[in-house]
Amino acid sequence: SHLYFPSDAIPGVLSGSILDSIGMPSSHSILFILCTLHPLCLSHPSNIPCLENLQPLRSETVGRQKRYAVEGSFWGVNQLTYKISRYSSKMSRASLEKTIRKAFDVWQDRTILEFTFKRSGTTHINIAFYERAHGDGENFDGPGGVLAHAFFPRYGGDVHFDDSEPWAPMKGIDGTVDLYMVATHEIGHALGLKHSSDPLAIMAEYYQEYTGSLIHLHQDDVLAMSMLYKRRNSSSPSSPSSSIPHSPVSAKTPPDLCRNPAIDAITVLGNGTMYAFKGDWFWRIHVDGAIEEGPLSIESYWPFESDIDDFLTDSDGDSYVFKGSKYWLLNRHGKLQRGYPAEINRGLSDMPDDIDAALVFHGDDLPYFFKKDKYWPYKRDGMLRHWPKSIKSIFKDPAVSRIDAALRFNIESFLFVGTKYYKVVGSKRMRVAEGYPRSVGDYWFGCDGHRHPFK
């Protein structure tokens, strides 16, 4: 299960009557209890967008210095889709859809993003209302507590609301919670924004009062969005980097991933975008397990050769692409760093050519490399003692003789073998988790219905 789920709470939107009913004199009391008791706030204060700053809101004029904070991941396109997969029991479907649309319009009106509502199918952002436990490890706590939580783009961009709250489409209705304000704030997280230290921003840690019936982004919110989403030609396919030229697609016939889902490599860039590679082709994959774009020619979009051996993204968001005796270093957006490609034997000590797969294992945060029937962890000073080891120590199935691709996503690690994949667990030594292997095509590419690869 995931231990890292960026969560958020804005209990300040609770009306006075609800606060009184639970014996709280102000929203600050609730905020203090939520943040001090929530284990994620205590264990990951720098990474989780909890409520770190519990000081009262300041009323003085905001200075010009930067106060916004971006998480780092963002959607690789400017035209985004959303759906409501689970409706609230507290509002009519029509009223709910209208309110959520208004919340997206707040962001659309002042940014280059465009949002389209879909009733079904794969979307970038999924809106859902749940009560208590709902399968993501971040259980809701009933009325009067945490109202909602959102996932940054690299973790799927979902927005969940606690359906035990008395939701209403607007402010000013006694005994209700203003869904319009909460949704606007949570959508900001789903777009890649953390909390801002500017108390007047939409992304401030506290709920902000707004005049009239419409919410407007503060300049701090606009600046944050401009850092994540640059203006680009929305009519062209979304490439890994806006600096990569668009060349004609190869005349070769691309493979069908549902017919043969075996892949050469799979990775999540530092900006949160997932890609799968096979031969001369690549696909953009939604983290929910579906093909979003592709097949596209590797050499038309990426600054490296096709038919790669593997694609490793490290904990800092830098990516290493391996092929034969060479490797390429890319930044978090897929742009080639100066001085690359380079020879593996010059840049990486004790590293052989022609590796099969690599990943940064979540158990110890070390990069592991796989070649034929062996694997080993890597450190800059070279091979560790007692390594390499046989991959048979990982698998119960003796038929597994080599790894084709590997991926770390959040705090989970996966190994791909032909048309199957395995989740691997362990603090130091890898072992296959219960319930695996599973079908790559069904769970990662949506070939047999829509199945989530991380559930």
Q: Is there a binding annotation on residue 160?
A: yes
Q: Is there a binding annotation on residue 195?
A: yes
Q: Is there a binding annotation on residue 365?
A: no
Q: Is there a binding annotation on residue 203?
A: yes
Using alpha carbons only, what angle is made at residue 348 by residues 317 and 272, rounded to the nearest 5 degrees?
A: 15
Q: Is there a binding annotation on residue 274?
A: no
Strands 290-297, 310-313: pairing is unpaired
Q: Is there a binding annotation on residue 309?
A: yes
- Examine the residue annotation and report whether 186 is marked as an active-site residue of this protein: yes
Cα–Cα distances in angstroms (integers) from residue 301 to residues 166, 176, 244, 285, in the given order: 48, 50, 6, 16
Token pair 């096709």 is found at: 306
Q: Is there a binding annotation on residue 165?
A: yes
Q: Is there a binding annotation on residue 158?
A: yes
Q: Is there a binding annotation on residue 225?
A: no
What tokens appear for 332 in the block?
Answer: 């978090």
Q: Is there a binding annotation on residue 28?
A: no
Q: Is there a binding annotation on residue 318?
A: no
Q: What are the backbone dihedrals phi and psi of residue 109, each rounded to the nearest 5 degrees, phi first? A: -65, -30
Neighbours of 381 (CB within 10 A): 8
Q: Which of 71, 186, 205, 292 is catalytic?
A: 186
Provide the β-strand partners of residue 72: none
Q: Is there a binding annotation on residue 60?
A: no
What tokens appear for 163 in the block?
Answer: 């359906």
Using alpha carbons only, what angle is made at residue 131 by residues 438 and 180, rounded to the nearest 5 degrees?
A: 110
Best CA proximity match to 173, nearest among 185, 183, 181: 181
Q: Is there a binding annotation on residue 185?
A: yes
d(CA 144, CA 176): 10
What tokens appear for 271 in the block?
Answer: 């900006």
Q: Is there a binding annotation on residue 2?
A: no
Q: Is there a binding annotation on residue 316?
A: no
The annotation places the binding site for Zn(2+) at 134, 136, 149, 160, 185, 189, 195, 203
Annotated binding-site positions for Ca(2+): 141-142, 156, 158, 162-163, 165, 264, 266, 309, 358, 404
Query: Can you say which residues are annotated as belonging to the binding site?
Result: 134, 136, 141-142, 149, 156, 158, 160, 162-163, 165, 185, 189, 195, 203, 264, 266, 309, 358, 404
| Catalytically annotated residues | 186
